[in-house]
């Protein structure tokens, strides 16, 4: 009789880099004989890939760890990621946890999970294997399967910035880039498995290559378009200062680079940007965005915004509203300021009351909805190339080149296929399309 495979589930909180790393862990688990199941199933092993970017992220990480313990008290629980990197001892003391590691040895959870299953015994005191992110080498990990029609590939880890609000440098260390040939080998592997679109991402993707003699992210993106099977290439979140003329020119002149970019903007106020220790001002952002619009006419931008940073006045906030309107963001990810212990911003004077943060986040969100609707309605009657990714009832759903969300009513299976469509309507969330 064939021996039953041990069951494992991986839960991911936080960024796309975490999702990539979870995918790599799942491949390692499968290679070790595990069956991968949804986190909602009863499993022998639960692995939680945590986040710590905000206090809410830490709260959710604790909540998921407790949920796993409740789902199966006999299960082995292993925790990795940013929360465990910076607060390993706290994580180890949470009920049911059997192993804790950080961000530079995530693949160790796979081997340790196999060890625990073989022993059949839960750990009395959870071992903590936390490497120093400032000195540890970049962990070698690869994803060889196309888990989605749009696949994320981690190209670097760490950040060289010193933003006053951010704890992630402590959790991820300085910038360490993957060699270009290593990235391209992985792109080729997932292309062979059917992936057409890749997103090159990292903790600070804009800093890619600084430790490789200045090999720029734009060149890496251009190289990815040359891989057989890859028809669409995007970048992860970008620090706006990277979008200088040479960077923009290379992307605009490379077929296959999609005209959509996500900016880690954070504020539209020069005074607040300076307090955050960001490396740009609003004038530079507007100049860079304006130039990209002039050479890539259909380009769209999305962004991250922090509202309620210490000392933010109503005038500062209105400057953020103003830059959002000038850039005409397709979407905005809005975060009320969350003080992180150990960061300069946590102890700055003039902390903003929670009710004001909430009110400003709501105002900006409502303004963003108006910008989004206007962008979609302007697109009605135009054509787009859409990668269809999933079925939604009678419709198939996908993204256009410029990241418009598109649905098309069809009985056909369009999964993973690219079609040129005509946009005919806007349903309040998606552009409605028909074949062109």
> What is the CATH classification number for the domain harbouring 423?
2.40.50.140
Query: How big is the CA angle at 146 (ends 329 and 422), to the nearest 5 degrees?
Result: 45
Taking 90 as the threshold, does the pLDDT of residue 2 lie above it? no
CA distance 329 to 429: 15
Query: How big is the CA angle at 317 (ends 305 and 367), to the nearest 5 degrees?
Result: 70
Return the percentage of the chain with pLDDT > 70, whole number: 100
Same domain, 167 and 306: yes
Taking 90 as the threshold, does the pLDDT of residue 148 lie above it? no
Tokens of 243: 């979008």
Same domain, 178 and 303: yes
The pLDDT assigned to 419 comes to 95
Taking 60 as the threshold, does the pLDDT of residue 1 lie above it? no
Domain span at residue 322?
150-378
The pLDDT assigned to 4 comes to 87
Same domain, 213 and 326: yes
Which pLDDT band holds residue 123 (cuts at 50, 70, 90)?
confident
What is the CATH classification number for the domain harbouring 310? Answer: 3.80.30.20
Same domain, 353 and 399: no
Taking 80 as the threshold, does the pLDDT of residue 38 lie above it? yes
Q: Chain-wide mean pLDDT for the chain?
A: 96
pLDDT 10s digits, 43-101: 999 999 999 999 999 999 999 999 999 999 999 999 999 999 999 999 999 989 999 99
pLDDT 10s digits, 261-301: 999 999 999 999 999 999 999 999 999 999 999 999 899 99
**Domain contains 199:** yes
Q: E-assigned strands of 222-337?
A: 232-235, 260-266, 300-307, 331-336
Pairing of strands 395-400, 383-392: antiparallel
pLDDT 10s digits, 205-241: 999 999 999 999 999 999 999 999 999 999 999 999 9
Same domain, 310 and 413: no
pLDDT 10s digits, 190-203: 999 999 999 999 99
pTM of the complete model: 0.94
pLDDT 10s digits, 68-83: 999 999 999 999 999 9
**Any idea how long the chain is?**
436
Same domain, 298 and 320: yes
pLDDT 10s digits, 326-375: 999 999 999 999 999 999 999 999 999 999 999 999 999 999 999 999 99
Same domain, 186 and 78: no
Tokens of 24: 């790599």
Determine the average pLDDT of the residues in 133-148.
91
Same domain, 217 and 241: yes
Pairing of strands 150-157, 128-129: unpaired
């Amino acid at each position: 009789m064939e021996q039953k495979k041990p069951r494992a589930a991986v839960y991911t909180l936080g960024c796309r880099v975490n999702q990539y790393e979870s995918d790599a862990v799942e491949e390692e688990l499968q290679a070790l004989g595990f069956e991968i199941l949804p986190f909602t199933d009863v499993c022998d092993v639960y692995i939680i890939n945590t986040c710590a970017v905000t206090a809410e992220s830490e709260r959710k990480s604790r909540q998921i760890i407790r949920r796993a313990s409740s789902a199966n008290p006999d299960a082995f629980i292993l925790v990795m990621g940013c929360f465990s990197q910076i607060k390993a001892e706290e994580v180890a003391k949470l009920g049911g946890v059997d192993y804790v590691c950080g961000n530079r040895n995530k693949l160790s959870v796979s081997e340790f999970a196999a060890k625990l299953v073989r022993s059949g015994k839960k750990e009395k005191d959870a071992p903590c294997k936390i490497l120093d992110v400032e000195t540890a080498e970049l962990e070698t990990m690869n994803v060889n399967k196309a888990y989605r029609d749009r696949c994320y590939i981690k190209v670097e880890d760490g950040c060289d910035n010193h933003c006053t609000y951010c704890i992630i440098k402590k959790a991820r260390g300085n910038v360490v880039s993957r060699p270009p040939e290593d990235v391209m080998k992985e792109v080729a592997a997932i292309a062979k498995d059917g992936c057409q679109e890749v997103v090159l991402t990292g903790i600070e993707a804009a800093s890619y290559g600084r430790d490789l003699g200045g090999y720029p992210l734009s060149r890496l993106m251009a190289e990815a378009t040359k891989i057989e099977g890859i028809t669409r290439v995007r970048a992860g979140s970008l620090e706006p200062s990277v979008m200088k003329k040479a960077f923009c020119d290379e992307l605009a002149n490379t077929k296959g680079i999609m005209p959509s970019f996500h900016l880690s903007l954070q504020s539209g106020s020069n005074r607040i940007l300076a307090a955050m220790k960001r490396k740009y001002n609003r004038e530079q952002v507007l100049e860079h965005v304006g130039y990209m619009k002039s050479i890539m006419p259909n380009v769209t931008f999305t962004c991250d915004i922090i509202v309620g940073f210490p000392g933010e006045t109503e005038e500062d906030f209105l400057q953020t509203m103003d830059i959002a309107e000038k850039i005409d963001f397709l979407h905005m990810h809005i975060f009320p300021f969350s003080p992180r212990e150990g960061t300069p911003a946590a102890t700055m004077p003039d902390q903003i009351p929670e009710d004001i943060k909430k009110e400003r986040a709501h105002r900006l969100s409502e303004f963003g909805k108006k910008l989004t609707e206007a962008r979609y309605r302007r697109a009605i009657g135009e054509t787009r190339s859409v990668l269809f990714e999933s079925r939604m009832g009678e419709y198939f759903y996908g993204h256009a080149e410029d990241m418009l969300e598109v649905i098309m009513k069809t009985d056909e299976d369009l999964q993973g296929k690219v079609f040129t469509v005509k946009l005919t309507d806007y349903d309040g969330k998606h552009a409605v399309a028909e074949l062109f």
